[in-house]
Amino acid sequence: MRLLVVEDDVQNRRFLEKTLTESGYEVSLAPTAAAAERVFRSAVNLSAVILDLGLPDEDGLSLITRLKQQGLRAPVLILSARRSVDDRVRGLETGGDDYLVKPFAAPELLARLRNLIRRNSPPVDNVTVLQVLDLRLDLLRREATRGDEKLQLTTHEFSLLEFLCRNAGRIVSRSMILDQVWGMRIEPDTNVVDVHIYRLRGKVETRGSEPLIRTIRGVGYVLRDK
Ligand code: CA
């Protein structure tokens, strides 16, 4: 999942990049409104935008308005030192989807971000079948097949595979999986994800077939899409 971080302060930018990267996000950084617009126009698929309001070349609020007019669909999390009720209301009314006052704690930023992304992800997108290589998921019947072979999956295994398929080719972290598949907000000291990935591999990657689920050490997993 790719995030656009618009922040002119070098230290804040580094902090955000580190925090978000460690949580498994891919991050595009922009120190100015003009740079943010370039990233947006480069047509990368953004999952969310994190936006500082005080930018050197333009006010963050007018940047959001413009990007939304140009078709920005990703939710916008405003980070700002402007803490008055008026400022926050204006931010939310201008197109911010959430507002976090600086200074903030990393866990709160991550929790709000996950909520925003989840609220924004299309739950009923009329997609009833997901296909990645020779893997096929029928979401209505909750049936999975690889090639001609039907896979016997538990409810959680199916949900996990669905999440991986929806993000095929993109790295998803354990905390994203816990959040999206199990609905847990904070990553507890659990190996539930690893155990389920292990079992899922045993069912999906049958003998003779090519491995589909890759482990990215220290980060998470990716379902191969080519
Ligand atoms: Ca600033």
Strands 46-52 and 2-6: parallel
Q: What CATH number has the domain bearing residue 156?
A: 1.10.10.10
What was the pLDDT predicted at 184?
A: 64
- Whether residues 104 and 138 fall in one domain: no
- Whether residues 113 and 171 fall in one domain: no
Domains: count for the chain: 2
Strands 135-138 and 98-101: unpaired
- Whether residues 116 and 135 fall in one domain: no
Answer with the one of 120, 155, 184 that is the final residue of a domain.
120
Contact in structure between 119 and 75 (CB atoms under 8 Å)? yes
- Whether residues 36 and 100 fall in one domain: yes
Q: How far is the CA of 97 from the centre of ligand 1 (A)?
A: 19
- Whether residues 114 and 136 fall in one domain: no
Q: How far is the CA of 87 from the centre of ligand 1 (A)?
A: 15
Q: How far is the CA of 168 from the centre of ligand 1 (A)?
A: 35
- Whether residues 153 and 83 fall in one domain: no
Domain range holding 218? 129-223
- Whether residues 100 and 156 fall in one domain: no
Single pTM value for the model: 0.61
- Whether residues 106 and 152 fall in one domain: no
Answer with the one of 83, 102, 120 that is the final residue of a domain.
120
Answer with the one of 120, 139, 171 that is the final residue of a domain.
120
Q: How far is the CA of 84 from the centre of ligand 1 (A)?
A: 16
Contacts of 139 (CB under 8 A, 6+ apart): 127, 128, 129, 130, 162
What was the pLDDT predicted at 189?
A: 67
What was the pLDDT predicted at 188?
A: 59
Q: How far is the CA of 3 from the centre of ligand 1 (A)?
A: 18
Coil, strand, or helix at residue 6? strand
What was the pLDDT predicted at 136?
A: 95
**Could you give the dihedral angle defined by the CA atoms of residues 142, 145, 151 and 156, in that order, rounded to the nearest 10 degrees?**
-40
Q: How far is the CA of 205 from the centre of ligand 1 (A)?
A: 48
| CB-facing half-sphere around the CA of 101: CA atoms within 13 A | 8
Q: How far is the CA of 53 from the centre of ligand 1 (A)?
A: 6
- Whether residues 76 and 179 fall in one domain: no
- Whether residues 8 and 113 fall in one domain: yes
Q: How far is the CA of 62 from the centre of ligand 1 (A)?
A: 14
Long-range contacts (CB closer than 8 Å, 24 or more residues apart) made by 139-148: 144/204, 146/204, 146/206, 146/209, 147/209
pLDDT tens digits, the chain, 226 residues: what are they? 899 999 999 999 999 999 999 988 999 999 999 999 999 988 678 999 999 999 999 999 999 999 988 888 899 999 999 889 889 888 888 889 999 999 999 999 999 998 888 777 655 556 789 999 999 999 888 899 998 889 999 888 999 999 999 999 989 988 888 878 877 655 556 788 888 999 999 999 877 767 899 999 888 999 999 8
Q: What CATH number has the domain bearing residue 48?
A: 3.40.50.2300
- Whether residues 110 and 154 fall in one domain: no
- Whether residues 142 and 181 fall in one domain: yes
Residues surrounding ion ligand 1 at CB below 5 Å = 8, 52, 54
